[in-house]
Chains A and B, each alone.
Chain A
């Protein structure tokens, strides 16, 4: 497989490279440049310091937050108390938000990636009348702003009494036009036509070919779309904000924003500050960890989307 040009698609980069095909990597051109490295490290500081602040601030009591310097720890570490506050405030609603976020994100992402994989494969490998037209329509939808959709979707949902239910957040998140685009490009490079033909000659049905041959080849692309759909739903704020009224259905973003509004208004107890900060840290950690562990997927995925046009 490595000998065919298809395998050299950027999408297929995650696979082991053939020794006889030295596509990658140019020999490192020149010695490391110290000045360049220092300049870049200074930039990295800009990107990381706010997160450092978040970590530091979440170890402080509310009083220390105001009385000690933001980027260094206070004398007593208050992280455990803060976490306890976060998870017990309002009868532990934060835990429900965390659960909701995970549930919405996982269900939407698996659904979106599944739908996009089947469709993207069909667009790439099975030629059918109307295919190009359908694909252009789907591509055009990438440009439709979410607001133009969210408000009418809200009205439609309220007619069928779907608002203020988890489905109101999950259903719109199942569509990922960009995911279809990505999977089409990916399938183009990762599924050799000869393999499909061989399976067909053997008498396998299209569905069987898809489930037993194609899915395995598309797995890295699937994970990429899954990851991006996961992030999109995890980070979504606008949609759940308008769809949901009951705090027990909120995801983290909407819940924390509400706590922040309360603490900014100064009506609640001031302890909300350290709770909002600690809660923010808790909601950031899962995605950061996911990105660190799934590096090769999102990197090759972004490559697929960006390189091909």
Chain B
């Protein structure tokens, strides 16, 4: 359309973008907004509006007499003193401290093994570890529920054949560990692929020299490879933090098998769900969900900060 306006710019060979013609520049800006607008509209409607609405709801309380009244921070005060909520958050904190290091540690070890180039059947191993990620969390929980089960679960069958007591996977003491196992099973491969990809982009020269100097494979892994993939480790850690605090599928499914072990507040998410849809305490549930989001933000931030600190120190 406006070819003639752009023509002079074409005469200079080097980077005409640096001094774009005014109308051209304006058209670009308009186009940019048009490209971003569809996403941003849906983003506003599906994330920003619900988020603010949730914050708004959390400031009210529905009463038997008098309808909905403004109560300020009362729901938050109640949540902080609510043993069900706090218990759930603490349980998830424990989950985080035990399961995430195991999962990411395994993922890192597998990624390093794949990257060392010393494996036979590389492709098979990589895919075999990754495939559980393609299994929906609900299906994984359901399947492991049967595997753990006392009747036809293989663990119980083997124990029975050996005359041993069957492992009480779904008991009070074991449940959290059993859930950790399901999550680990599902997500080691996903994290492994992220770390493996990061390892592959480490320039080889970095450690060829170290090898020439006689550093062994382990030493190279520890001093060169792991520091090089720190950004990817940080990313996987933060995703794991977010995922852990939102744990819902596994406990909700295993609840059917062990209703006495998994109570309504086993995880904060389960608690919010039960409050909203079983107890009809929407306002309180909104406050719980909001607080949970806050906890996730704080923990993610702390993780990021401590990673940066370490970066600076080294």
* Residues of A bordering B, CB below 8 Å: 10, 24-26, 28-34, 36-37, 40-41, 43-44, 46-48, 50-51, 53-54, 57, 65-66, 69-71, 115-116, 118-119, 121-123, 126-129, 131, 134, 138, 141-149, 151-156, 171-172, 174-175, 177, 180, 193, 197, 200-203, 205-207, 210, 231, 234-235, 237-238, 242, 252-253, 256-257, 260-261, 264-265, 273, 276-277, 280, 283-284, 287-288, 290-292, 295, 298-300, 302-303, 305-309
Task: Determine if B46 and A180 form an interchain contact, defined as CB atoms under 8 angstroms apart.
Answer: no
B197 near A30 (CB under 8 angstroms)?
no
Closest to A70 in B: B154
B43 in complex: contacting residue of A177, A200, A277, A308, CB < 8 Å = A177
Asked whether, in the complex, the Cβ of A238 is within 8 Å of the Cβ of B35, the reply is no
Contacts of A54 in B (CB 8 A): 143
Q: With CB as the reference atom, state the residue of chain B lying closest to A183.
A: B39
Given A174-B42, A174-B46, A242-B277: A260 and B132 interface contact (C-beta under 8 Å): no
Give the CA-CA distance A304 to B46 in the complex, in Å. 26
Known contacts A131-B36, A148-B293, A295-B127, then 14 further A-B pairs from the complex at CB < 8 Å, ordered by chain A residue: A34-B120, A118-B39, A138-B43, A146-B246, A147-B292, A151-B286, A152-B50, A175-B47, A203-B2, A237-B137, A253-B136, A283-B136, A299-B197, A303-B197
A21 to B29, CA, bound (A): 36
Residues B297 and A307 in contact, CB atoms below 8 Å apart: no
**Interface size of B as a range:** 35 or more
Interface-central residue, B137, B139, B194, B277, by most chain A CB under 10 Å:
B139
Are B17 and A193 touching (Cβ within 8 A)?
A: yes
> Contacts A40-B110, A306-B235 hold; do A122 and B35 have CB atoms under 8 A apart?
yes
Closest A-B pairs by Cβ, 8 of them: A206-B31, A303-B197, A70-B154, A306-B194, A126-B32, A122-B35, A235-B136, A44-B128
CA distance A166 to B125 in the complex (A): 39
Interface class of chain B by DSSP: helix
Find out whether the CB atom of A203 lies under 8 angstroms from the CB atom of B6.
yes
Residue pair B40, A119 in contact (C-beta under 8 Å): yes
Nearest neighbor of B20 in chain A, beta-carbon distance: A200
